[in-house]
Chains A and B, each alone.
Chain A
Amino acid sequence: MYTGLISIQSSMIKEYGGSNLKKFLDSIEQYIMAVGLTIMTFITVINVFSRKVLHLSMSFLEEITTIMFILISLLGAAVAARKGGHLGLSVFTDFLPKKYQKYVALFTWFVAAFFCYYLVRYGFVMVAGEYKLGVTTPALGWPEWIFGLTVPVGGIFIFLRYTQYTYRMFKAKEVE
């Protein structure tokens, strides 16, 4: 849906050079997302091939695709947070003078922190429950809690990236 929008919005925020750790984290995110989508795509096509040509259903692979999908979606949401790439309604806040814009970002940070707090807290409750009950996935029989872990971990990433984005907004104004 929003192709093109991310690049437009991200260009508004200047990227600042970071430490090696930050660069490492950025590239880890990039690798997981790119490799994740590649694997998802090829598993899906191989599945069609094996079913139609070899008459062999490998539908259990769908579980791997689905979990990767959740992983790259939450990780990507974090990356988009860092880049200011999430779609919002800026038409009213645009009327505010420039020096107040950072407080708009701060408000978003509060909302993000509020949302992520509950996502992470109850995410770990869910994971703990799955671990205790020893729930396994229906097709592959893998422990469900490993899959469930994507939610709280994704929540932590989203929170960290929003913090980073907001911090940069404040720093950018001071430079001016």
Chain B
Amino acid sequence: MTFLRRSSLTAVASVILLAPALAAQEPTTPSPRDVILVTGRVVTLDGQAPLSYAQVGIAELKAGGQTREDGRYSFTVPASAANGQVVTLTARAIGFKAKSVQVVLSPGLPPQDFVLESNPLQLGEVVITGAGTTSEAQKIGNVRSHVDSSAIQASNEPNVVQTLSAKAPNVTVTSSAGDPGASSSILIRGANTLGRPSDPLIVVDGTPIDNSTTTVAFLDPQTGGPQGGVSSPNRAVDINPADIESVEILKGAAAGAIYGARAGQGVVLITTKKGRPGTTRFSLTSSVSFDNVTKFPALQRQFGQGDDGVSDPCATDPTPDCYATPDTWGPQLEAGVKTYDHTNELYQTGHFWDNVLNISGGNEKTSFFLSGGYFTQDGTVLGPHDYLHRATVRLKAEHAVADNLRIGGNVMYAQTEQDAVQKGFNYASIPWTSWLTPPEFNNNPYLDPATGVHRSYRFPDPSVGSIPDSTRGYDNPYFSAYTSQSTTLNDRVLGNMTIQWTALSWLNFSEALGVDYANDQRVQGEAQGNSQTFLPGGQVLTLNLTHTQFDNNLIATGTYTVNPNWGGSVSVGQNINSRSFQQLGEVGDVLLASTPYSLNNTATQRPPTSYQSYVHDIGYFAQATFDLWDALFLKAGLRYDGFSTFSPSHQYYAFPSASAAWQFSKTFNLEDSWLSFGKARLAYGEVGTEPGPYVSSKVFQANGQIPDAYGGLFLTASQGGVGGLFTPVTEPAEGLGPERTKELEGGIDLGFLKDRISFSATFYNRNSSDVILPIPVAASTGYQLQVANAAEIRNRGGEFTLTVRPIVSKDLAWDVTLLGGYNNNDVLSLRGADFVPYGGNGGFLISYAQLGGSVGSFRDFDYVRCGRGVVLTDGSGNPYNVDQHCTSSQISQKALFISDGTLTNASGVGANPGFPLLDPTQYVVGSPDPKWTGSFSTSLRYKRWNFSLLLDHRSGGLVWNGTHETLNFFGTSAESAKRGTTVTFGQNFMSGAVAGPGAGDAVVLDQNWFQNYYGGISPHSIGFPFYEDGTFTKLREIAVGYVLDERWVTHNLGLSSIEVRLAGRNLYTWSNYSGADPEVNSPGAETGARGIDFFTNPQTRSVVITFTFNR
């Protein structure tokens, strides 16, 4: 029996602290004559409810017991050990403050009852702090962000990463799209890396797991990256959130330093549920959701297909197999012409069904937790190719082999299958093809009634013979939704074995050996007659991805006591980690028959492509704690890491950390005052980020492609059966070490009025140097990039948490929590460059790390404006200095410079009178990072009813509305209906100051304006007008629940309770953003770029009904 119950990891500390208690656990059968019976009942203060699983014991006699479900406990003490002395009897329970009484130990001891107060600050409770170390909550010298299972369950999100949204300040979670299984990313305290993934390390029960996101699209020459293709999952989606007991987010470097060179972006520690001694408990949870899209972009329905106000002959009077214009710049539609709403015609109400069965139980020596879950989601896009299915099984068991030796096993299997529809910039993309369809074109039916072959608005009259060799220009979106397949079928085994051995009363060993193996089989099928590939005959792409990770963590912890005022612990450990990745891709061209999407069913197959990588790490770590006067807690740690990815000449780096926590409320005896708890803390730590593998290797590119300067076209270097090799674009790195993040963090944690109110504030200064990035080198050197430790980034910010529990009583409880955080991100150095493309943002070259700006800054083209020193050419060919023709206020307002028709810019391009001129230079637009983020949550319990609400707010941060910009270009956006209207810049169009010789002139907006001078889709289009403030407030969660435990439930049904819950997810968004949803990131979690809205399937909202049957 242990005294405290936690995960296998926390049990280490439990055993250390209570080692004496364990030593006395000889199984004897005492007779009433030689024992003293200690009994009583433990209840809670607020509800006077019995408290089960509370531990009651006498530490000095190493004796104790546990309460049953009625709150009663009993244990015995050998009479020989009792001589009427005074002993301390202590009752503890998770979530409650421990309470001790002094009793005179003698036969006939009266029942000892305890009333425990809740412990919202978790004082005295053991918290896992990573790599097998633990600490009591009040001793931690850095800010703690803790999320428990109820908060995870309440989110109704299938992806564990998304469940963390709005749960901790400065932990920004972004869902990339509304598709089932679309990746979510976490950014902790701002971006501090450039070339490496910005997501934190995720550790489940002591073993790191893979959370990578891989898009299939790279195999596809057309879509070529995250801007096209489909929304792929991040691999943490394989974990069933219902299995999670709690999550600790190690935000700062001081907290993460125990993980050294893998903790640069923070660490998320997930602890899964475990069994408890006692009756075997069963719990079946069933949920069903109703999901729909929150908002769509606005489209016009007045103008038809064509150009310059003229209908396209192919569209109006189609001849077989002619191509019609993609544009909707035709004439005004005549009255009576039927139009169609293409915003939402491809969308339906989606559903998920989630069923989880938990069985847990055990006895004093052995406990188990067994769960099985099946989650199935049918997304909001029509057709059979928009789903996520996940089947999970977990068994976690622990057994005490001897009093001082516990072993545990925890194994999870998951099969996750996702099928996703095409998005972004590709010609099968559902949003692209539906929102670009002219209003008068009926996309239904998608097969031509006469010929039975695929028809689309750009290819309205297909012949039977057109299938093998004619692309449709763009797919009909229904065709894409019903035929285009992109599946990922992932089988994953994840688990570990743990050993806790208390070798001596003061010395404990803890070992965790874990494995994470995943095999992901992807199949992308493009049907015959598709437009996405340049093979209208169809294509099948397969990709097999295998991730394997072994991790072994061994730690020895010794406790010491120098005197009553000075104790502590020393831990020494070693970690070994090995990761490998294999990928094999094959492409078959031209389907023989229309189905199946199998390589077997293709006419020709291309040579397969493969990739593999292997990374080994070894780390040694040591940590010492000093607990002084039970009020001042000091900790010092050192991690020494060797990575195979570091330069071979210097493979080991040290990462120190130190922290101090001073519980001044104890020093000044304030516990009974209005300030019931006060702690000041200060922490410093260093963490790192390792480079990717093989960047120092000098190799020749095998099976490379020689790209055309325009997207998607290339020749392979191997031709005519001769294998081509060439020098790759990336120069081998030299002397590469880890990125190093040094962070100083200070803060204060306060509890007022017996912890009814708690407040926490934290400030940090986080400096990342030697940031690894592929730094551009002059292409004339023969290379274009070199991976180097080249940048310096600073993040400074603050975080605040305020929790108020105004009412805590048996029938009524109410609490309110406010979270807030701000972060300022500054790029301090880029090794001489002014900006570098950020994070491989897949085709949207608008995100940059900007010197003097931030990571992820947008750069784009703008009109000529005052105050930028622009020099134009006037009609006579003479230089025309813009700022000399602006007033000082126009200069300070960066007034738009309006042409009189004679001026031309540096590229020799002019503008019609009354219109602004284009400036061919890129400027910084701003940052996608919010100024601050916050959330408001509250929960209210009245008898058996409970109610909760979570509001999530993000203030500031730009979003590029590329969808709007592109729809303007093609003439389907609502704004494009302004064509033909007369406007004046600065007055009734594009608000803001204007200057220049043409200022105030009325002009007519036409197709040419919308396509070439206002946005556009070429790499140098004017993008500035399409960056919008992404401020939003979301009603993330709202729920009402009722617990039935009446007699008919407990007796007639044989259950202990039934919980019924009605919840809403993302029900409402308050935002001025003109697009679908400012919470979006088209490239997904893979790239690190943020704030990009480009033809993704919009976010959804849900109503979820949940029944839980407990026994």
Partners in one complex: no
Q: Which residues of A contact B (CB under 8 A)?
A: none
Which residues from chain B sit less than 8 Å from chain A, CB to CB? none
